[in-house]
Structure 1
């Protein structure tokens, strides 16, 4: 993403009414664009957009939790050996990795709104494809495609929200992490409703035959329900209210007039009547120099520019002239070459100068935390089910274990993470008051998460295991929200 999206934040809370437009931009710090967004303030538009962005975060973890819960059922469905069942989750995460890069790049080239609306649409389409998969290989491929869609939601939605929030309110970005936890809760509850009565027990817990074609459809029902939920999220994004393109994106693609119009409309939606001009949306000199070095990320061909010029001087639209295939290749090259070069130039900016150390540090921390967090979340449902089967086998009844117990434990685990986002947001906001850096807060919360993880490995009692899993869920979610705030807020 553009380094300008990682602007510094004034931690002092702005308690002024967003309708107060009497503040002179000259009395504020920061670029004219930041000052204008602070003048508009935190209104209904920003709150609604923050909620819509949260849907993408919820979908991300919702599908991850669904994959973890479905693994034992998929293994029974397709008779997959234990050494190979991990390919399902691996294909999902591979898709997420590529999707984050793909959709993040497209959002820099095509704009935030198009990607914002597309990720959940394709997640619903690929979710339906996973529901209809009839082999393990086709399911892995469908989950790979699903991963590319949901993997693009968090980075693109977070950037969109960050560029709409007033600079003095950007710490609210960390509150999006609560949607991440809610997504896993939704998936866990859906699994609890449809899986226990529609699943074959693991072969290790029973010797009675089970028809996987008719008695093991619970995991498919779960995928179908989550597909409908994702589709509803997509519809909310296009029907809820009219979205405006990110003003910062417009400014850095050479479209200052459109940025001024978008900010005027946003202020009007919030109930304020601000007169915003092009001078009010100028960004800082550092970004202007980078703009001159890299060029704007505007996708517009010479033919389109000429057409716009004709339209400005004539009320009669120009006649349509078909383009030959050879010209089409040239137009396509012209369409993509300059924006891609500009994007590459900006990415280089993240790895040079003052940004290099910060970027590499955040990437390294993010990768390490993602490895540990993902391994535990994928492992936990299978572990709880296996332990339940062992306990059932040790009893004299001889009945196969119920899946309701382990799934209830997964629900409790996911619910335990919901307060973590609020804890992380509070720690990010409170750290300066206690003379603590965000790096130190992140290190302390990470240490507490590691302590709970070590306790989980060492204890064996039912209630102690549950306490440690809730502790891991709470602190790891707080850890993620702090990391996101650390990476995007100074």
Structure 2
């Protein structure tokens, strides 16, 4: 619920002056916690403009596709590195091939941290970054150390995609369509499917046989994993070109007002409205009136960096635990992200290796990647199911309505755990494939809901 909506419900017949006073009280928290009051009020004006005038139209649909391509590129490489590990191990003979996955996640951690800060320094638009070059270079690596180093650089590049892409998308859509963030997770599953299909085509046909003696797998006979890296790198580079050449990507209006660039923010909103065939009544004077005639002084780079890292202080954490219910919700959400962050790479990143080395399996390289492709396909309907039920209770007054975020997330998480447990008991190739498909569907449903639920909890904490 936006601050304006909260004011209207609290005093539906209040005058503009009384409404402004109510808004001041609601924003007292922002002031006390060091968050600029003027910025909060301007964001409220932008939210209202997005919801009531701009709406969800042509620009948002194109942004959905573009942002989805970014999410797809992220998982292309999370899964792409996983699917080539077997052949990398056979040719480059590392002591532990799993170190490549470790390098990828080290890069991801550093990338998420750096690009998260850079999004506040140079803007959301410029934080969209090119990573395809590192993927292409990884395919040309002549030894494992070089391969792992390039994979780490690749992780650094894509580390900011999810937070930056998600922020840019949410800041350009009306509140009524924020449920599409759940649907956006379908692109994540498409990324896994793309990596699987490419690997199936190349690794399944241009790789050393599993029976090749150690040290005798030559590069010329094992080009499949390299072709896979080249192809996935090219796809990632296409995403970069699409963002800067094909699609007229606009900077975040909320970022611009945070920098005191109100005129540019108005130009962005007017441009988006025009793309949607709409006009807006929001004016620059309304932005300036928020500041009470005082000229807003934008923060310096050092102040922005300090403010960004101050999120680690208790002053910004306490609102998440304001009250028993909110504390429970926040704690469970944080624990969920932590456990998923542990379980996801342990299962998905090493699943191709497991499928190749399954003791009872008689499948060749091609059959292994065929099975992985089948598993990846099931992730797409999982995201769509989550999108369908996550807002099932919207507008319903029934206490016992089925659906909603909490129930969907609880059921999908529980089912994922059950299917993963059953996976460990599998004795046949069919059982491995079946339980992997089931867990692929439920875990993508869980991710989709969690991505939508987490911003809701944070928003609730800010309003309270």
Q: TM-score, normalised by structure 1?
A: 0.77
Q: Give the corresponding residue for 2:92.
A: 78
Secondary structure at the counterpart of residue 112 of structure 1: coil
Range that drifts further, 126-135 or 229-238:
126-135
Secondary structure at the counterpart of residue 31 of structure 1: helix
Offset, 1:72: 1.0
Separation of aligned partners in 2, 1:236 and 1:8: 36
Separation of aligned partners in 1, 2:367 and 2:4: 46
Task: Spell out the pairing of 1:370-385 with structure 2 (5 A cutoff).
Answer: 370-385=341-356
1:57 touches 1:180 (CA, 8 Å); kept in 2? Answer: yes
2:206 touches 2:223 (CA, 8 Å); kept in 1? Answer: yes
Correspondence 1:350 to 2:316: yes
Separation of aligned partners in 2, 1:164 and 1:176: 14
1:439 to 406, 415, 439: 406
1:219 to 200, 225, 239: 225
Identify if the C-alpha distance between structure 1 residues 437 and 355 changes in structure 2 by more than 3 Å, giving closer, same or farther. Answer: farther
Offset, 1:363: 3.3
1:99 touches 1:150 (CA, 8 Å); kept in 2? Answer: yes
Q: Give the corresponding residue for 2:275.
A: 269
Offset, 1:457: 1.3
1:296 touches 1:342 (CA, 8 Å); kept in 2? Answer: no
2:100 to 84, 88, 95: 88
Q: Give the corresponding residue for 1:138.
A: 146
Task: Spell out the pairing of 1:29-108 with structure 2 (5 A cutoff).
Answer: 31-38=44-51, 39-81=53-95, 84-108=96-120
Identify if the C-alpha distance between structure 1 residues 227 and 242 changes in structure 2 by more than 3 Å, giving closer, same or farther. Answer: same
Separation of aligned partners in 1, 2:173 and 2:339: 29
Identify if the C-alpha distance between structure 1 residues 171 and 347 changes in structure 2 by more than 3 Å, giving closer, same or farther. Answer: farther
Q: Give the corresponding residue for 2:304.
A: 339
Aligned CA-pair RMSD: 2.8
Offset, 1:265: 1.1
Correspondence 1:234 to 2:240: yes
Task: Spell out the pairing of 1:217-366 with structure 2 (5 A cutoff).
Answer: 217-278=223-284, 298-299=299-300, 336-345=301-310, 348=313, 350-354=316-320, 357=327, 361-366=332-337
Gaps of 5+ in 2: 6-18, 24-42, 458-464
Correspondence 1:430 to 2:360: no
Separation of aligned partners in 2, 1:104 and 1:9: 28
2:74 touches 2:162 (CA, 8 Å); kept in 1? Answer: yes
1:191 to 199, 202, 210: 199
Separation of aligned partners in 1, 2:330 and 2:168: 19
Offset, 1:350: 3.4
Separation of aligned partners in 1, 2:223 and 2:288: 56
Q: Give the corresponding residue for 1:303.
A: none
Identify if the C-alpha distance between structure 1 residues 355 and 232 changes in structure 2 by more than 3 Å, giving closer, same or farther. Answer: farther
Separation of aligned partners in 1, 2:115 and 2:157: 8
2:64 touches 2:169 (CA, 8 Å); kept in 1? Answer: yes
Q: Give the corresponding residue for 1:179.
A: 187
Correspondence 1:415 to 2:377: yes
Q: Give the corresponding residue for 2:132.
A: 124
Gaps of 5+ in 1: 1-5, 11-25, 300-335, 393-400
Separation of aligned partners in 2, 1:72 and 1:240: 37
Separation of aligned partners in 2, 1:269 and 1:80: 53
Separation of aligned partners in 1, 2:216 and 2:56: 57
Identify if the C-alpha distance between structure 1 residues 144 and 297 changes in structure 2 by more than 3 Å, giving closer, same or farther. Answer: farther
Identify if the C-alpha distance between structure 1 residues 282 and 88 changes in structure 2 by more than 3 Å, giving closer, same or farther. Answer: farther
Q: TM-score, normalised by structure 2?
A: 0.81
Identify if the C-alpha distance between structure 1 residues 355 and 341 changes in structure 2 by more than 3 Å, giving closer, same or farther. Answer: farther
Separation of aligned partners in 2, 1:488 and 1:7: 13
Q: Give the corresponding residue for 2:455.
A: 488
Separation of aligned partners in 2, 1:365 and 1:219: 34
Separation of aligned partners in 1, 2:57 and 2:287: 19
Q: Give the corresponding residue for 2:36.
A: none
The count of aligned residue pairs is 407
2:311 touches 2:317 (CA, 8 Å); kept in 1? Answer: no
Q: Deviations over 1:206-254 (max 9, x none)?
A: 5598442211121111001111111111111112232211112222222
Q: Deviations over 1:323-359 (max 9, x none)?
A: xxxxxxxxxxxxx322212323455453133468466
1:420 touches 1:476 (CA, 8 Å); kept in 2? Answer: yes
Secondary structure at the counterpart of residue 242 of structure 1: coil
Identify if the C-alpha distance between structure 1 residues 347 and 109 changes in structure 2 by more than 3 Å, giving closer, same or farther. Answer: farther
Identify if the C-alpha distance between structure 1 residues 481 and 8 changes in structure 2 by more than 3 Å, giving closer, same or farther. Answer: farther
Secondary structure at the counterpart of residue 243 of structure 1: coil
Separation of aligned partners in 2, 1:64 and 1:8: 39
2:386 touches 2:408 (CA, 8 Å); kept in 1? Answer: no
Q: Deviations over 1:121-170 (max 9, x none)?
A: 1x112112212221111111111110011121111101100110111111
Q: Deviations over 1:345-380 (max 9, x none)?
A: 455453133468466543332121121122111221
Separation of aligned partners in 1, 2:49 and 2:387: 25
Identify if the C-alpha distance between structure 1 residues 137 and 208 changes in structure 2 by more than 3 Å, giving closer, same or farther. Answer: closer
